[in-house]
Structure 1
């Protein structure tokens, strides 16, 4: 309601963006009918917007099936984002060096609303394809990165996040109890790092440390993902945590 009352808000543009956001890892190509269902918009509006986005090069359209999918223009936007965010250029050389020395998957996770988004990913040879794609968003409360970022925020902000942010059970081991998640954030605040196991992917141990700004607050974290078949939590603490903390300390937030 607040957006619609703002004279600067362009409703048609917002609807077009809603249509683009219908595409994700579960919906890589969509028919007109599927776009209508996913967006909740009227068919005539979806038809006009999909056609316009196709003509403007934002969507590809299969001439046989008439299904739409994202175009290369999305990669151009991602390219522009990488140049626009100074944190990317500061972090990338550090991740390359960490990956070279330790040979494990290491990521840059940034807070994105109530999710974290993986902005940089340096996978190792064992990493699954889905876990190597830049731009993946997952609910922040279910991740070591989200919890260690929240651990640097104010008590009121943490309380709001615990009350309102979404939780999704990605695996049978995903913690969905908000009290238990609150305990995890408190531990991360005390320890300066967070370790989770089997939360987003089974048999994965995730270690995250915050990238803290001069105000003591973090909006990003470095995260290492290892297989529980090769590591246990104690080994992660002993072998990877000191190096990850050292890497993060050399990155201005």
Structure 2
């Protein structure tokens, strides 16, 4: 086996300038669509001189631009190239797309696939159903695991101790009056999801929004993603969702799981 670098060597290889540059890119979001140089420095907790070097370099590379009038900086569409490259390289998305499209057509509801990242699930594929949904979650959106169908579907595949550790690693905030925030309560929901093969979210992330989800399992037996269907409370009850859509979500997740196993 090839020797792993020592911690001292690994630290010496760590590029702090790259870390700062990525921090600047991540600092722009819905709350900070544009920023001055001072605001960039504050948002990233770096000095103003470091922020100036990072912004200058990112602007020269085309990832940020400065408004001619306000002199405030903002991201450019070139930033999306990085995320797009990930999707292009993710064979799971290619394999899953036909199954997700079929599920959206069959149910008439919006169908999504998310992948785990730390304590969140990230949208990597989405097929919008022909019926209206009030919540827009574009590719790249992130949702917490603890209060979502896809997150619970993923967590239900983990060893209980590992699932509990993930739940305890971050704040469990009440997003709506219906959000479960007690770890033991969520663990009980995970046990039920483990038995049924699917997990649900009933207005715990957004009011009027329900989801039902099932995990996608690799040939190593580990969950690598989850499929979920959005079912608004204006059209569905939870009982109807579990009875009518539950089996379809399970079949979709199993089909994707079987397909990716043949690729590796």
SS in 2 for 1:6: helix
* Structure 1 CA distance for aligned equivalents of residues 154 and 213 of structure 2: 9
Contact 2:164–2:183 (Cα < 8 Å) also in 1 = no
Shift, 1:172, TM fit = 2.9
1:65-104 to structure 2, matched below 5 A, reads 65-104=70-109
Q: Which structure's CA Rg is the greater one?
A: 2
Shift, 1:3, TM fit = 9.4
TM-score (norm 1): 0.92
Out of 152, 159, 165, the position equivalent to 1:160 is: 165
1:237-252 to structure 2, matched below 5 A, reads 237-252=242-257
Out of 205, 216, 222, the position equivalent to 2:221 is: 216
SS in 2 for 1:18: helix
Task: Work out the number of aligned pairs and report it.
Answer: 251
Distance 1:83 1:40, change over 3 A: same
Distance 1:119 1:242, change over 3 A: same
CA RMSD between the two structures: 1.9
Q: Confirm or deny that 1:59 pairs with 2:64.
A: yes
Shift, 1:5, TM fit = 6.4
Output one character per residue of 1:180-235: Cα deviation in whole Å (capped at 9) or x when no partner.
Answer: 11111121112111011112111111101011122332121001111111100011
Q: Confirm or deny that 1:127 pairs with 2:130.
A: no
TM-score (norm 2): 0.89
* Structure 2 CA distance for aligned equivalents of residues 100 and 162 of structure 1: 34
Per the alignment, residue 140 of structure 1 pairs with 145
SS in 2 for 1:236: helix
Output one character per residue of 1:18-72: Cα deviation in whole Å (capped at 9) or x when no partner.
Answer: 1111122332222223222221111111122112101111112211112222211
Per the alignment, residue 196 of structure 1 pairs with 201
* Structure 2 CA distance for aligned equivalents of residues 227 and 46 of structure 1: 44
- Unaligned runs of at least 5 residues, structure 1: none
